[in-house]
Amino acid sequence: MDTICTLSKKKKITNRVLLVLMASLVVMMVYDLIVRNQYFFLIVEIMMLGASIDYTWRNLAAFSRVSFGASDLELTRQEISRREKRVSIPYDAIQALAEIKNGFVAIETGEKERFIIHGEHNTSMAHGAPERTTNILREEILARSGKEIPVRYL
């Protein structure tokens, strides 16, 4: 069974830095509200905090390892409680692959369920670039099942 680790060291560092910045943002919000009585900056800080929480939530919810079996795709992620969550998706159930902003890839199944994994892509990469995570997944699925999976690029 071949395995791809999709969580890069860069994303781990980004998530840790973002957690530290979110903590300082909360302190700044309290300071602006209590000491300075400035509500304009409080609104801006709340919007920034919302975007940071969204990115952090996606980063924690995304699967970090993809294993290719004979008949299915197995996704694995580390839970906060240090347990591993595993999901098996048959190759026949995969309908499409879609790139999502901030470097994530969605695997869409026939039941319109989406499984999000970490991905490597940016706008400067060509759509057919072999280092894009979507292209790696598509080629591996094609080699194992013979099924051509459509890809939606950013």
Is residue 98 a contact partner of residue 151, using CB atoms and an 8 Å limit? yes
Q: Which phi and psi (to 5°) does residue 42 adopt? A: -65, -40
Delimit the domains of the chain by residue range.
1-154
CA atoms of 147 and 142, how far apart (whole Å): 5
Given this model, what pLDDT does residue 87 score? 92
| pTM: predicted TM-score of the whole model, two decimal places | 0.80
Q: Mind listing the pLDDT tens digit for each residue in 7-52?
A: 778 878 888 888 898 888 888 888 888 888 877 777 888 888 888 8
Cα 151 from Cα 137, distance rounded (Å): 10
> What confidence score (pLDDT) does residue 74 get?
92
Beta strands 84-90 and 72-78 are antiparallel
Q: What is the pLDDT of residue 10?
A: 80
Give the closest residue to 145 by CA, choosing from 93, 88, 75: 93
pLDDT tens digits along 46-97: 888 888 888 888 888 889 899 998 889 999 988 777 788 899 999 988 999 9
Q: Is the pLDDT of residue 1 over 70?
A: no
User: Contact, 152 vs 94, CB < 8 A?
Assistant: no
In the prediction, which pLDDT does 122 show? Answer: 74
Tens-digit pLDDT profile for residues 103-138:
889 999 977 788 999 888 777 788 888 888 888 999
